[in-house]
Amino acid sequence: MGKRIRVQRRGRGGSQFKASTHKRVAPARYPSAFTPKKYSATSIEGVIVTFVHDPGRGSPLALIKFENGEECYTIVPEGTHEGQQIRLGGTAPNKVGNILPAGKVPEGTMVCNVERRPGDGGKIARSSGAYIMVVAHTPQGTMIKLPSGQTRYIHDHCMATIGLVSGAGRTEKPFLKAGAKFHLMKSKGHKYPRTSGRAMIAAVHPYGSSAKSARKGTTTSHGAPPGQKVGLIAARGTGRKKRKERLTKREQKIYSTKKRG
């Protein structure tokens, strides 16, 4: 009988798997006191007081104080500076740093820190250099293009910040040392380094052993216990997907005549 696998040890909640959240500054979200419907037809002014570093985050946070006394920490768009005046609301101009409802953002504008649902504080496009493109305004809502290339509809009252997230060049710099990667992963609460199950011995992992025998299947069900629930969980299919080429009617006609000839 071997030791418990990583999934079981992490699920128990030991101290070595806990993230060092006590070092973090504050959650990056829009102020909860500002209801989307209230500020869709008006706007309020604020100022960026300072930028602060948040451990484990690729972009700094901006402390914004509004004229009604509210304050919040938000994601910093590229091109903003300390002391900059910003506006939040539906009548705010289309300027980098301003926070507008998605329904008021002009088509073709790059935005970041977009809410999935009105009032959730911002969930999409928050990493270094990330942005979302506002494609169109439709009766179903605002159509946006995600960083992955997919399109999605969101509510017109979802708040978004004009511009792209700062720190775009951070991902281009190599870590150079394992210690730098270790401290980043520790601040994020990720277990590092990770060893593949195939590299382990058979006693400590279901996929262990380097013996060139029949390999065990890597798909498992949702209802599997923690010691077995590893690999491709509830996978519909395994391996690389084959790309199906669709021919036009003209190409099909040419192809069929060549085949007959």
* Residue 243, pLDDT score: 56
* Residue 41, pLDDT score: 82
Q: How many CB atoms lie within 10 A of CB 1?
A: 5
* Residue 106, pLDDT score: 94
Asked if the bond preceding 31 is cis, omega within 30° of 0, the reply is no
Label residue 136 exposed, middle or buried (CB < 10 Å: 0-12, 13-18, 19+). Answer: middle
Q: Was domain 23-168 assigned CATH 2.30.30.30?
A: yes
Q: For residue 18, give the 3-state DSSP assignment.
A: coil
Summarised one tens digit per residue, pLDDT across range 227-240 is: 888 888 998 876 66
Helices (H), 94-209: 178-188
- Higher per-residue confidence, 136 vs 216: 136
Return residue ranges of the chain for CATH 2.30.30.30: 23-168
Asked if the bond preceding 118 is cis, omega within 30° of 0, the reply is no
Summarised one tens digit per residue, pLDDT across range 59-111 is: 999 999 999 889 999 999 999 999 999 999 989 999 999 999 999 999 999 99
Contact yes or no for 34/70 (Cβ under 8 A): yes
- Place 122 in a pLDDT band, splitting at 50, 70 and 90: very high
* Residue 21, pLDDT score: 85
The DSSP letter of residue 117 is S
* Residue 42, pLDDT score: 85
Summarised one tens digit per residue, pLDDT across range 144-155 is: 999 999 999 999
Report if pTM > 0.85. Answer: no
Contact yes or no for 99/45 (Cβ under 8 A): no
Mean pLDDT of the chain: 87
Q: How many CB atoms lie within 10 A of CB 28?
A: 20
Summarised one tens digit per residue, pLDDT across range 173-221 is: 999 999 999 989 988 888 888 888 888 888 888 888 877 665 677 889 9
> What percent of the chain is modeled with pLDDT above 90?
49
* Residue 114, pLDDT score: 95
